[in-house]
Amino acid sequence: MSAPKKSRMEHSPEVQKFVEFLKIRTVHPDPAYKESRLWLLDYVADIGLEVVVDKEYHPGKPVIVVKLPGTNPELPSVLLNSHVDVVPVEQDKWIVDAFSGHITDDGKIYGRGTQDMKCVCIQHLEAVRRIKDSGTKLRRNLYLSFVPDEETYTGHGMGLLCQSEEFKSWNVGMAVDEGLARENSDMVVFYAERHCYWTDVTFSGNPGHGSRFIENTAVEKMRKLVNKALDYRENQRKRLLADACMTLGEVTTVNVTMIHGGTTPNVVPSEFTVTLDCRVSHEYAFEEFKNLLKSWIDEAGGGEMSFIASSNNDALSSIDPKDKWWNAITGACKKHSVKLVPEIFPAGTDSRYLRAQGIPAYGFSPINNTPILLHDHNEWLGVDTFMRGIDILGTVIRDLANVSG
């Protein structure tokens, strides 16, 4: 009997590394950060990159940063950022083990993190390996960061790294972070992101027996707020659908994500708490939407609002054709016949910490002709798309690190 035909995956060391990384369960609520750290340190040592940070700015949350020196280190540097953590899975909803890195006969790599964002982590490293092995010299210092806890919005990774003395010493001029897949032949690059408000609103009211018509209950107040929020959500949805040129990042979403309250079926509780996930477009100032939300709560009868997480993402990175960074990114993609579409990111990424410091940051995952599956069941990425992404990012990285001025 003849041996089975080897797949492209079996012949590609880049895909092999990707699969290895997917198998490391850096999944919340207990990410395997120690295993990930050791694996990454071996990986960058094999490439021959200098480790400039290997530490925990927050206990149990390791950060790794490596460097490829440039010929003109006095120039502002380029940073390539990746987060290593991934969101939980509902394994019974997957067709394969979510941490197996399974590759199908038609070339789909399945696994949590294939799109968000272990693909880009490996693509950055393999693109830099090719640059280094080719003997190509870059003008600017190039840094690659691998951070924890992006998915939890805590700031324990990039948020703390940005505040460190090490980071300040690198004179970062611009950064590249994660983006999203695109379902058509274009690729999308993100130059900003919406404000984020995650908030609990707790309402108090009269308690009593579940058989009675009790007035002024907590749940009645909560219902009024929920109705306001969902009515607003529907109006924003209609705005989005009515304008083919409008993107999700240009409207505001308000979603009810959790409701808590009650102790037993036959007692009307004295408190109910509703959690809202609000992603606010740049048409609102930070405080403006906060005041709108407060007005809804007041109209509902009054409640206590406590923020779980919030961010004021007012900064916009330039997409002016004359901007040197934007021109380098778009020019590099043109060399691969890739049309870039600039958008505002609809959710949150680590780029917000960089933009807050005045550093231009662009979210770019070189994935097209692929459904958007981040945080979804059966997340996958095509082998060919993954490999082409290394080629594209190699050109982007080289051109950015060689920008003059």
Positions annotated as catalytic residues are 85, 150
Residue partners of 101: CB distance under 8 A and separation at least 6: 18, 19, 20, 22, 23, 109, 110, 111
Looking only at the bridges linking them, the beta strands covering 187-193 and 340-345 are: parallel
Q: How far apart are CA 112 and CA 98, in angstroms?
A: 6
Q: Which among 82, 130, 12, 77 has a CA at the least distance from the CA of 365?
A: 82
Measured in degrees and rounded to the nearest 5, phi and psi for residue 113 equal 105, 0
Q: How far apart are CA 46 and CA 33, in angstroms?
A: 20
* SS3 per-residue string spanning the chain: CCCCCCCHHHHCHHHHHHHHHHHCCCECCCCCHHHHHHHHHHHHHHHCCEEEEEEEEECCEEEEEEEECCCCCCCCEEEEEEECCECCCCHHHCCCCCCCCCECCCCEEECCCCCCCHHHHHHHHHHHHHHHHHCCCCCCCEEEEEECCCCCCCCCCHHHHCCCHHHHHCCEEEEEECCCCCCCCCEEEEEEECEEEEEEEEEECCCEECCCCCCCCHHHHHHHHHHHHHHHHHHHHHHHHHCCCCCHHHCCEEEEEEEEECCCCCEECCEEEEEEEEEECCCCCHHHHHHHHHHHHHHHCCCEEEEEEEECCCCCCCCCCCCHHHHHHHHHHHCCCCCEEEEEECCCCCHHHHHHCCCCEEEECCCCCCCCCCCCCCCEEEHHHHHHHHHHHHHHHHHHHCCCC
Q: How far apart are CA 147 and CA 159, in angstroms?
A: 10
